[in-house]
Structure 1
């Protein structure tokens, strides 16, 4: 039986969470005993000093090899929470679950409503919403890579909880049901119709709509999660929102392509030359790091604007970015061309690299 327990917030008053008094050096505070935790995740959170009842909640999910604190620090999520007045939840994976700290988006029991990691994150959200009197109509989720795929899983399994999501270098819900399928999906994507993708979300709960708004982010030079996955994500959420692909409007400026369908409930931003990671703009105070890439575009600021929390930061001309995020002890791969992408050896190499990047092979 899935239950929500009484959270133990005694260690994180508004003051301690805002100042880091009871938290770590990143400003996040660990919350224990938040309820059922079948996925064995760690709850870390931040509440600005004096946050008033009725504030939004942002859930931010880190990528593989990252911890919650480092992920939020690069995008300055705690500072954005102070500035725009929202609570921040940063679930964290344990090495005992995955040595590379990847969320288990490819494990069926981890992404099934009422079970596994999605149930743990849902319990964290309930704990914060109850204790901090969050506006339940304004709960949002974002994430990178495995965290992006898990963000999509949260939107699929608990769509009634979320007003919107922002998926960065992620994969659609139902893209894989095991390690082998995960690598194949990451390496080249999975070809399905929009209806098929949408049916996988509809089968994840008894929710009949309305569906969360979704923003999709993808680097065109991503060699870990193939750009084909962004196309599949768009098809999945277009089907759920009953938006025709023919309603697409597209704007391209300085290597950044923004795609908007219909009323804007589904949007996609693709960035030329960007590898695997979160788009940052250091001019906005963000900090580049592995898988956190300064390309002159702030995913965090653009996402908040999409959700109606903050104003959009107009993208400036992207800076030259690495073709892929730095990967320790990995050889530098040559730039991909259409010819290489079509060659069998290049596909095999990309899949192998992707598997190593998420720690599923050594």
Structure 2
């Protein structure tokens, strides 16, 4: 008969080859170590099941980590809690992913754009230490030409990683099939919901036995989260996506919205106490604020910086349309005079811009 150590070694090797083998749970394996969320909760740790569904939310954690001591409990209204414990036989590059996926349902997928939007309101207690990321993932269901795939993420907190290193955690390798990060680029910095973000684009290529394709992942990294356990925000998905021309004037079908805790070289636990994913019908015309070049709904020195950059691009593009917010003096065009008026307002020389009739 094989020893327990030998069996564990076999299990680790099989997992490395992407073969998930169920192990029977014991009382010690399922010992509660996570603060239970309120109401009825399903303990994935006790059943050694990698996923469960409550209402429209599907909760997930890899079986391998549940077997060796990580904990996850799922409850109603998208709430869940988790505790990460490193397995005794760590896999090379393998991470634990605690997640909740909100499914809109076939035929009910929202088309995020100027008519529909998705808002994610959340509050969580974070007691993780080490290297990890907490982010919302919008699954874009419409593939582009040549079967390329695309994802848009809003990372509310990333610890221990530079943006490019975090993008590399999405690389995959299963036998001869692998997904590799080919390039990483900072596209722009902006404000959304009163917080500052850097938007990056990662380009990947998938090499498979039967197919090859490119994959694109956009991640907006929040820069101004405060120290402390509690993290909360209201995320306006279109406000982030509209920073890119390919999404600004398009209706992008979103199949699911996930809140994900990605952990590696981590210890500690977390609890999501509020998660509300809602679809908003944007029937009203968006408010245009004259001089608000960075779309943060206020006029300050950052708009002067953005205005100068915008003017340089505008001057280099013949026939470029003038954004309504840029024509501050209402003369029908965007030029240096508009920037002078904007700067005068910021430093207090004038109290208001000309009003359109």
The question of a shared fold, defined as TM-score above 0.5 by the shorter chain, is answered with no
The structure whose RCO (Cα within 8 Å, separation 6+) is larger is 2
Structure number with the higher helix fraction is 1
Question: Which structure features the higher share of strand residues?
Answer: 2
TM-score scaled by structure 1?
0.29
Calculate the TM-score normalised by the size of structure 2.
0.29
Larger gyration radius, structure 1 or structure 2: 2
